[in-house]
Amino acid sequence: PWTFWSYGVAAFALSAFSLLVVPKQLAKEAQFAGVTNVPGFDWTGCALGVIGLVLVNIAFNNGPLYGWSTPHVYFVLIIGLLVLVAFLWVERRAESPLLPVSAFNGTVTYTMALIGIGWGSFGIWIYYSWRFLEEFRHLTPLNVSAQFTPALICGLIAAGATGFMLTHTPVSFTMLIAMLAFCTGQAISAFMPVHQSYWPQMFVSILIMPFGMDMSFPAATVILSNHMPREHQGLAASLVNTMVNYSISLALGIAGTVEVSVMTHDGTLADTIWGVRCAFYTGLALAGCGVLLGMSYFIKSMIKEGWKVAQH
């Protein structure tokens, strides 16, 4: 538990520190210089959006614990969905909407779906890979952490490769490569034997997955920035970041539901392994859908624009 507490304390400390070091007046003057009608803040939309997303998330992650037939689980889900509908209604009528519905076109929606599917698959991979190594290969948390250190180097390489690709290839191609990386890394982990050394599969999977992470995020940000109205382009990165984090949490609830559904709960190790394996398969199915969507988007962009490098 102190992993989460320490992270929360550090995040709170950084938030408090930002109040001291960020020059409020300078930021305000720079942002609204010469503007007569300073935009307000959509407090109603903010409250409804947060409450709706939290309730839906609680329902999806309580489903595996209590069962979807438990009244409070589906009741919370229904209430959350109704609140999100109210959020969309408010956003259509707000003067300064938190999430301008008019900015969402087909490309933006398509890109958000790709990010949600890809990063949802990643969330399943990172959680169940860690659990696989600890529970079935009996490694300590420090040993597992050490096994994941190659991701640091591959992340740096992937970040550099992404910068090159975004300036030399269509951004849809970069997104497709990211989806392929998610799918490949997930597939390698999904079929890992329990009694196997680190190098044949786990190591390779850890080398590949950073390319999915580091390519999809900037590619999606560029796509959204180029396909949203100028006044809403600043939303691109925040939308992508929100989708990344929310899809990870939601996908874990889905994978958990699959895990407990396929298990016989007889207490055997084989039953537990089968549940985890099916959770991996769920992540693989999501990643596979991401590849199909990414390929479809790449083909559509090639037909429409050809081999065009995006301006960003």
Position 187 scores a pLDDT of 98
Residue 6, domain member (yes or no): no
Helix-strand-coil split of the chain, %, nearest 5? 80, 0, 20
Residue 45 has pLDDT above 80, yes or no: yes
**For residue 260, with 0-12 CB atoms within 10 Å meaning exposed, 13-18 middle and 19 or more buried, which class applies?**
middle
**For residue 304, with 0-12 CB atoms within 10 Å meaning exposed, 13-18 middle and 19 or more buried, which class applies?**
exposed
Residue 83, domain member (yes or no): no
For position 188, which CATH number holds? 1.20.1250.20
How far apart (Å, rounded) are the C-alpha atoms in residues 177 and 179? 5
How far apart (Å, rounded) are the C-alpha atoms in residues 225 and 237? 8
Residue 52, domain member (yes or no): no
Residue 36 pLDDT level (bands cut at 50, 70, 90): low
pLDDT tens for 116-153 read 999 999 999 999 999 999 999 999 999 999 999 999 99
Residue 29, domain member (yes or no): no
Position 106 scores a pLDDT of 83
Number of folded domains that form the chain: 1
Pick from 98-112, 225-239, 278-292, 293-307 the range whose average pLDDT is largest: 278-292
How far apart (Å, rounded) are the C-alpha atoms in residues 208 and 51? 36
Nearest to 287 by CA among 195, 174, 192, 181: 181
pLDDT tens for 191-219 read 999 999 999 999 999 999 999 999 999 99
Structural domain range at position 266? 102-312
How far apart (Å, rounded) are the C-alpha atoms in residues 177 and 162? 10
Residue 180 has pLDDT above 70, yes or no: yes
Residue 299 has pLDDT above 80, yes or no: yes
